[in-house]
Structure 1
């Protein structure tokens, strides 16, 4: 069992009084004089406003003598000597050859596990997360508390906040960045497409802009997705396969990320490694994932929708247990070469890689449900439905030979064993299922 599995886881209107002053006989001169005077004062007032805005500093650089903290996006507080001390302490490696890693999305599912694993082996780790409400923020807060007990500090902020990122690199000379912050989920992209562009494209570009200009430049490992394979029919999916047919906006933003990574590697010499995750599951997972909400709904006695493709075709996923994903992430960090740029200028060719991280054993979703039934000792109320046109694909299957060769990646957890660990955590976290069925 993983070490982390058992842990607890407008101003008001002014009413103008009517007056006969402007309309009395002989009052025309006074009216023109007053109008001219009003005009002069109006221009003077506007000029003062203009001067004020031109002389005011940018919001990200405003400080207060009484409060040394700074404001980042969404009014997150950061800065000050006490804050910097926590940042340095969290990022300090226990050994001289240890990595110093900035983990974005550290309160996320994968981010929590990766941060914990890095800290346990003696690396310096600092997290950053915006704790958005895409899914229950209390779960993210519980993960945060878990990491704090291991010595990992999570800075509350947004990766689109350039001033914050630059400050972090000013305080700590990170050797590596593990970029896991992203807007996840295939179906939610149809409801809130802007969030995907904000996080997965703009956020990634902002991070790379900061990384290209710092000295030393860090090596960057970042999360892509198996969704980039889109409408491919050739299986198993290989890194050499085409990825220009995304089936969802989420997939399109992840594919865009891979092209953006290529650009920053080519121009600025950033060392970049992309990891295409295949359906990650396990303890402390995401509630928007099928295995998670299937468990919740089975316990509540609710129907669960099981999709099938055209002509009763099987829908299957290459489910990959979180511990195996963590091994791949650490392997990518350990084999990442140094970036070759300095001061935003490329000095030589830099490493650029992309790997599949999967389990190589696709399992039909119907079988996933059967395993959950046995583990929960509850019969599921199945509702067989046709696969909707919302970005979901019928089948995923990873070819991991490249990762095996270069990272020593070898998944060892089958779905039955992985789900057993997840169910144990789920029932414990939700108080033996009581909270889960409320």
Structure 2
């Protein structure tokens, strides 16, 4: 199969592109290498992918010219590219153009791919809102610009499926952690600051937040399992994550245990839009994808610490 992976130099996109290449697929990765976070990390990811034979394209999905340089013979599109997370440095225009406009243009391109079997949109538990413990039938209540625009992107993709123009599904991911996690995300920052004996900024009350911290390898297991199931997955939304909950404090304690040192904490004012609880309801994923995440929180942290030390110390 020939597969296009957008946002391929990013965290989950790079792992998925790598796995698809390992499975014998011909993979083209595209990324705009924006400076939202370290271009050094994105280049590290991209170089690793090229070692696996992934063809990397540096281009922006918001630009019409991008679609003129891409071939139109893809069997699958895995769409990761997005303006991620909740950030005070990101404007609504950043979220709108990267998450909605880019997805609309990519959907238009997908219609030109005559042999396309499925468009796989990568959604997020942030679509549900401040609590994400629900089955896929729950009405979305996003509480951030990120969640709002990711919901809109998801619906743009599924609209094409409802109109029977393409087959498409959307996979909503839960609190993914592991090697290559972005620098501003919790575990990479905890590891970095812990090794440097510097305080970790913790938003007020967030130590009690509950999360389905899911190892990226387990997420990728679910993502690649959609291949060959386009008939049963068409126009479906599926949660991917672990059913095991941990508090943010338990995550901090896990990093402290692996590093064998205490983590200093710097209390910060409460951040609006943060989810209070995520617990992946994966009954549908189990039924349709035979999905069964197994990696524990401590195992995930051990793998992430090893990756960080190897690449950044």
TM-score, normalized by the shorter chain, greater than 0.5: yes
Match of 1:326 in 2: 220
CA displacement at 1:428 relative to structure 2: 1.1
Alignment of 1:192-203 (within 5 A): 192-203=91-102
Cα distance in 1 for partners of 2:294, 2:243 equals 11
CA displacement at 1:163 relative to structure 2: 3.5
CA displacement at 1:385 relative to structure 2: 4.8
CA displacement at 1:384 relative to structure 2: 4.4
1:81-118: CA deviations, max 9, x gaps? Answer: xxxxxxxxxxxxxxxxxx21011111111111111111
Q: Which has the higher contact order (CA 8 A, sep 6+)?
A: 2
1:216 and 2:118 matched: no
5+ unaligned residues in a row in structure 1: which ranges? 1-98, 339-349, 432-438
One of 175, 178, 181 as aligned partner of 1:282: 178
Alignment of 1:291-306 (within 5 A): 291-306=187-202
Cα distance in 2 for partners of 1:379, 1:133 equals 31
One of 118, 131, 135 as aligned partner of 1:238: 135
One of 251, 266, 270 as aligned partner of 2:162: 266
Local SS of the residue matching 1:122? coil
One of 105, 111, 122 as aligned partner of 1:206: 105
Match of 2:36 in 1: 134
Match of 1:254 in 2: 150
Local SS of the residue matching 2:252? helix
Cα distance in 2 for partners of 1:364, 1:242 equals 25
Match of 1:227 in 2: 126
Cα distance in 1 for partners of 2:234, 2:98 equals 24
One of 303, 308, 311 as aligned partner of 1:426: 308
- RMSD over aligned Cα, in angstroms? 1.9
One of 339, 357, 364 as aligned partner of 2:247: 364
CA displacement at 1:231 relative to structure 2: 3.2
How many aligned residue pairs are there?
313
**Contact 2:207–2:248 under 8 Å retained in 1:** no
Cα distance in 2 for partners of 1:241, 1:266 equals 19
Local SS of the residue matching 2:277? coil
Local SS of the residue matching 2:266? strand
Match of 1:154 in 2: 56
CA displacement at 1:218 relative to structure 2: 4.2
1:123-179: CA deviations, max 9, x gaps? Answer: 111111111100000111111111111111111111123343244234xx1111011
Cα distance in 1 for partners of 2:298, 2:35 equals 31
Cα distance in 2 for partners of 1:117, 1:259 equals 27
**Contact 1:211–1:217 under 8 Å retained in 2:** yes
Alignment of 1:60-79 (within 5 A): none
* Higher-Rg member (1/2): 1
CA displacement at 1:199 relative to structure 2: 0.9
Q: TM-score, normalised by structure 1?
A: 0.68
Local SS of the residue matching 2:70? helix
Distance 1:418 1:200, change over 3 A: same
One of 377, 382, 387 as aligned partner of 2:260: 377
**Contact 1:306–1:365 under 8 Å retained in 2:** no
